[in-house]
């Protein structure tokens, strides 16, 4: 922050341009009036808003004892001349200091300008590359969908055209066999809801549970399997639903419950369960660690 110029420096600047010859020819009164006038001008610059503000002189005059009335003021004039000489001498000294300071200030400003120019990049230069936010890591590719092992009994033989319930079940079956489990769930749920009394409703409900099980939702699958068995125990896929209910319980780490389900499957459908389930039941009991 630039400091306000001192009063003496302003006086210096105001009087520096005065010719030396003119100073030598001035009378004491003229010199005093000139210095006072210049001092008032400087005071107006230093105190622009302070009416009546004054600055005390740095050189004080010695006290002058009053002489006899009518005696010439020779001592007073001499003292005033001495004071003026001292002020002008001080101004000349400050003039030299001001010029030297101005020279140093100019050198400092030039050094700062050179430093700014050296630190600023060229207009046509390209700054260093600023690393942007880290790119989001590419998600790992989804695990390949394992095609389910489709037993021949899941597929239905061709039926006469004009049976929308049968067609709805086939849509869900094709989606399930293609590994599109979410789409299969939607299609099979719609079929069961729209055709609850259809001969393929037991097939659709069981296949819906298998779609949830293959899709990684064993708890939902268990509910679907249990409902298919309880709501239609004579349905063609009720035994299958008990078998897959045990599979879902094993996935949920409920092996004791799975073993009780396999026991009920054996007790209720021991002679009527289809061969596909009967062949796999011993392995399922072993996986559940049934006694």
> Do 86 and 190 sit in the same domain of this protein?
no
| Residue-wise pLDDT tens digits, 103-132 | 776 766 776 666 556 555 555 444 444 444
Average pLDDT of span 44-63: 50
**Does residue 146 fall inside a structural domain?**
no
The answer to the question of residue 124 being in a domain is no
Does residue 51 register a pLDDT over 80? no
Whether residues 95 and 195 share a domain: the answer is no
Residues 174 and 276 in one domain: yes
- Here the tokens at position 119 are 């630190």
Task: List the domain range (segments joined by +) for residue 39.
Answer: 1-49+81-101
Residue 157 lies in a domain: no
The CATH number of residue 249's host domain is: 1.25.40.10
- Same domain membership, residue 169 and residue 282: yes
Average pLDDT over residues 147-169: 63
90 lies in the same domain as 168? no
Q: Does a structural domain hold residue 174?
A: yes
Distance of alpha carbon 56 from alpha carbon 60, whole angstroms? 9
Domain annotation covers residue 120: no
Main-chain dihedrals φ then ψ at residue 236, nearest 5 degrees: -65, -25
Reported as a pLDDT band with limits 50, 70 and 90, residue 55 is: very low
pTM value is 0.48
Largest CA distance in the chain: 157
Q: Are 264 and 249 in contact (CB under 8 A)?
A: no
Q: Is residue 215's pLDDT more than 70?
A: yes
Output the CA–CA distances (angstroms, integers) from residue 279 to 207, 243, 269, in the order listed.
Answer: 19, 11, 13
- The answer to whether position 244 is within a domain reads yes
Q: 189: pLDDT confidence band, cut at 50, 70 and 90?
A: very high
Share of the chain above pLDDT 70, in %: 54
Query: Residue 280's pLDDT band (boundaries 50, 70, 90)?
Result: very high
Q: What is the mean pLDDT of the chain?
A: 73
- pLDDT, residue 81, reads 74
For the cut 60, the answer to whether the pLDDT of residue 69 exceeds it is no
Q: Is the pLDDT higher at 25 or at 207? A: 207
CA 42 to each of CA 101, 211, 246: distance values in angstroms, whole numbers, following the listed order: 20, 98, 106
pLDDT (0 to 100) of residue 290 = 93
Q: What is the mean pLDDT of residues 79-94?
A: 71
Whether 16 is covered by a domain: the verdict is yes
Based on the fold, state whether residues 168 and 282 are members of the same structural domain.
Answer: yes
Domain count, the chain: 2
Q: What is the pLDDT, as a whole number, of residue 207?
A: 97
Residues 26-46 have pLDDT tens digits of 677 777 777 767 766 655 554
Q: Identify whether 260 is part of a domain.
A: yes
């Amino acid at each position: 922050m630039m400091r306000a110029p001192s009063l003496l420096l302003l006086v210096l600047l105001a009087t520096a341009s005065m010719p030396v010859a003119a100073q030598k020819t001035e009378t004491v009164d003229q010199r005093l009036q000139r210095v006072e006038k210049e001092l008032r001008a400087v005071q107006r610059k230093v105190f622009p808003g302070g009416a009546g503000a004054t600055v005390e002189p740095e050189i004080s005059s010695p006290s002058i004892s009053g002489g006899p009335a009518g005696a010439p003021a020779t001592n007073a004039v001499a003292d005033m001349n001495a004071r003026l000489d001292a002020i002008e001498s001080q101004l000349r000294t400050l003039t030299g200091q001001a010029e030297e300071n101005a020279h140093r200030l100019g050198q400092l400003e030039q050094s700062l300008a050179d430093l700014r120019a050296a630190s600023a990049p060229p207009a046509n230069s390209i700054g260093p590359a600023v690393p942007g936010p880290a790119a989001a890591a590419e998600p790992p590719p989804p695990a390949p969908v394992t095609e389910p092992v489709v037993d021949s009994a899941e597929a239905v033989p061709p039926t006469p055209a004009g049976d929308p319930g049968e067609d709805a079940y086939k849509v869900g079956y094709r989606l399930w066999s293609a590994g599109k489990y979410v789409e299969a769930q939607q299609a099979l749920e719609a079929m069961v809801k729209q055709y609850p009394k259809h001969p393929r409703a037991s097939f659709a409900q069981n296949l819906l549970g298998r779609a949830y099980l293959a899709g990684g939702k064993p708890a939902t699958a268990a509910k679907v399997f249990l409902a298919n068995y309880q709501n239609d125990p004579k349905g063609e896929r009720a035994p299958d639903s008990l078998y897959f209910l045990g599979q879902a319980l094993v996935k949920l780490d409920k092996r004791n419950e799975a073993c009780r389900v396999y026991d009920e499957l054996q007790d209720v459908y021991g002679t009527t369960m289809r061969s596909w389930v009967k062949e796999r039941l011993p392995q399922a009991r072993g996986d559940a660690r049934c006694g």
